[in-house]
Chains A and B, each alone.
Chain A
Amino acid sequence: MIAVHLPILQVVLPLIAAPLCVLFRARDLPWAIAAVATWTAFAISGLLLAQVYSVGVISYEIGDWAPPWGIEYRIDALNAFVLLVVSGVSAAVILFGRDSMLAEFGRSREYLFYTAYLLTFCGLLGVTITGDAFNLFVFLEISSLGTYVLIASGNNRRALLASYQYLILGTIGATFIVIGVGFLYAMTGTLNMVDLAGRVQAYGANTTIVVAFTFLVVGASLKLALFPLHLWLPAAYTYAPSMVSAFLAATATKVGLYVLVRFVFTIFGPEFSFVTLSLGLPLAILALVGMFVTSTVAIFQNDVKRMLAFSSVAQIGYMVLGISIHTMLGVAAGLMHLFNHALMKGALFCAVGCIVYRVGSSRLDAFAGAGRRMPWTMAAFCTGGISLIGLPLTAGFVGKWYLVLALIDRGWWPLAVLVVLSSMLAVIYIWRVVEVAYFRDPLPEAGPVEEAPLSLLLPTWALAFANIWFGIETSLNVNGAFAAAESILGGFGS
């Protein structure tokens, strides 16, 4: 009986856990509540994915009101895949968070932090699971409001400014999305995605529909930090606490990409988006320029978190490039990179979090001598870095391999060369950290530093190990991405 209600439990359990954190403020209890809720959500998303693969699309009617009148939660191979990524990385990050947040945030307002975390988590899961365009906007707002609090809880005062910047740009993005949804509603009188899809695609290139499309694409691009709409991201990731950087890098932008894919493919349809309006070209150009510009900027950063943040924008370029090819192979490669990048950036930001925990800074100088004094942390960093570059036997390689295949298959082979070239830029910025960590002596004023505690190392290594595991045993990420691509493309472009 409970299996029928898994879709709603996925969202409601974190939502109920959030106010419980406010009520039970005793030592470590808020963290324990958040951890239990996150792990339960992880288990539910695993069950949902298995259910989707065995029986197909799951539909859940909120309040027993039949769609398209009521709100429907609709889970297909695409959002089941994204749900698993979001909850899986969060499950590792929340374990990392306990000691990391104690060191960076303190005990006094810990309960408020975990409340905000759970609301953000609930919002991200809700955006992904819902089959209702307006409900999607509501959950997007829940997750955004939570995110602003999470970013502002960094102990550098500039965290507040970074959070404010994101608040302004995030609000513009969300407003664009709600304007787009409003135009669609004005045109069709429905908000249910499946219902919308049928009606919108019947209109063709109607002006209102084109305007709605533009607003939705720009709004979603702001949320997923597509170059040049990424300006909020570097500061936000740099000044947020380490746990938050890992959490957001692995989940928030991924859900933004999901929103773009859902609107472009499911509601407007690939025919309208890519043939009538040729969205593929601008997306591909922005993705490519973004890959090169932000990777180059990343090379010149002196703060490792900031470097990884710029690298995130470049990596989003790979995902968007895959989507812009709009063939089965291309979309699958983009979604695969979504999965893999969540693991890479999760591992990398957690490793930086270990350094921050012991040395107290994420500046490049703080890494001096870390190779010898914190060997496990740096080994995890290198594993994540190798995966980011895309060397064989790591998850990063699998994603880029399929991306290059998709580009060649589409006949865009010069772009395939550019993808490989831009990966070389990742070699440079990762190497800068490795060089400092392994070949430079620690600063004299830095006292004795020992390896990070197991409570931080184990989650970091779980993510680092996942990078290797999904580079060798690729059935989940590759087949999952192909199943997701198939579910949204149908017969188109295969």
Chain B
Amino acid sequence: MRDNIVLSVVARLLMPFILLFALYVQFHGEVSPGGGFQAGVIFASAFVLFVLVYGIDAAEGIIPDGFLRGGIAGGVLLYAGIGVLGLLLGSNFLDYNVLAADPKNGQHLGIVLIELGVGTTVASVVTAVFYAFVRSKR
């Protein structure tokens, strides 16, 4: 569909806004509706649009499989790592209070980092699942 000028231009225009909106939902998640899961799906939807318009081969050039695998595993590791960090800093698993000098900042930092882990994994998984669907049609 990349030959269709309307589609390719609109996709090109929309993508940065979709990615930006995903980041807004991600980082505004702890004070308003949203969070890592929703943000991850929105982020991945930008790449779904890209694949639909420009094809899977072009998408693989930008986000290769290895990168997606890293994202899938990295997000989970970030989440679990933050949990273990609380443990190493002398408190219980997933206790954010000890992450910063002030417990309130610690809670803030903890939830932001954990949601970032969720967002990374969800975005990578949704993109990987979509890649798999597209490839099964080839």
Residues of chain A whose beta carbon lies under 8 Å from any beta carbon of chain B: 5, 8, 12, 15-16, 18-20, 22-23, 60-64
Contact = CB atoms under 8 A, between A and B. Distances in A.
A60 B80 contact: no
Contacts of A5: 87, 92-93
Contacts of B96: 63
A19 B125 CA distance: 13
Chain A facing B: main interface SS? helix
Nearest to A11: B93
Contact of B92 (A18, A20, A23, A61): A61
A23 B70 contact: yes
A63 B86 CA distance: 8
Given A5-B87, A5-B93, A22-B69, 7 more contacts: A8-B83, A12-B93, A16-B77, A19-B77, A20-B77, A63-B92, A64-B97
A8 B74 contact: no
B80 A64 contact: no
Interface of B: 69-70, 72-74, 76-77, 80-81, 83-84, 86-87, 91-97
A20 B80 contact: no
A462 to B, nearest CB: 31
Contacts of B80: 12, 15-16, 19
B98 to A, nearest CB: 9
B73 A22 contact: yes
Contacts of B86: 63
A8 B84 CA distance: 10
Contact of A8 (B72, B76, B92): B92
Nearest to A73: B93
A98 B57 CA distance: 35
B81 to A, nearest CB: 8
A20 B70 CA distance: 10
A64 B92 contact: yes
A340 B86 CA distance: 39
A19 B87 contact: no
Given A12-B84, A23-B69, A63 B76 contact: no
B87 A63 contact: no
Interface centre among A19, A22, A60 (most CB of B within 10 A): A19
14 contacts: A5-B87, A15-B76, A16-B80, A18-B76, A19-B72, A20-B77, A22-B73, A23-B73, A23-B74, A60-B93, A63-B93, A63-B96, A64-B92, A64-B97
Nearest to B83: A12
Contacts of A22: 69, 72-73
Interface centre among B80, B87, B93 (most CB of A within 10 A): B93
Contact of B95 (A12, A18, A64): A64
A475 to B, nearest CB: 33
Nearest to A60: B92
Nearest to B97: A64
Given A12-B83, A12-B84, A64-B97, A19 B76 contact: yes
A43 to B, nearest CB: 18
Given A12-B80, A64-B97, A19 B73 contact: yes
A12 B83 CA distance: 9
Contacts of A62: 92-94
A27 to B, nearest CB: 17
B110 to A, nearest CB: 9
A291 B101 CA distance: 61
A117 to B, nearest CB: 15
B96 to A, nearest CB: 7
B59 to A, nearest CB: 20
Contacts of A8: 83, 87, 92-93
A8 B93 CA distance: 7
Contacts of B69: 22-23
A64 B70 contact: no
B73 to A, nearest CB: 3
A23 B77 CA distance: 11
A15 B77 CA distance: 9
A15 B81 CA distance: 11
Interface centre among A18, A23, A60 (most CB of B within 10 A): A23
Nearest to A2: B87
Contacts of A63: 86, 92-96
A12 B81 CA distance: 10
Contacts of A12: 80, 83-84, 93
Nearest to B110: A63
Nearest to B84: A12
A8 B76 CA distance: 16
A12 B80 CA distance: 7
B67 to A, nearest CB: 12
A358 B4 CA distance: 58
A12 B92 CA distance: 12
B73 A20 contact: yes
Nearest to A15: B80
Contacts of A64: 91-92, 95, 97
Nearest to A19: B73
Interface centre among B83, B94, B95 (most CB of A within 10 A): B94
Nearest to A23: B73
Nearest to A112: B69
A170 B52 CA distance: 34
A8 B88 CA distance: 13
Contacts of B74: 19, 23
B70 to A, nearest CB: 7
A413 to B, nearest CB: 50
Contacts of B93: 5, 8, 12, 60, 62-63
A23 B83 CA distance: 20
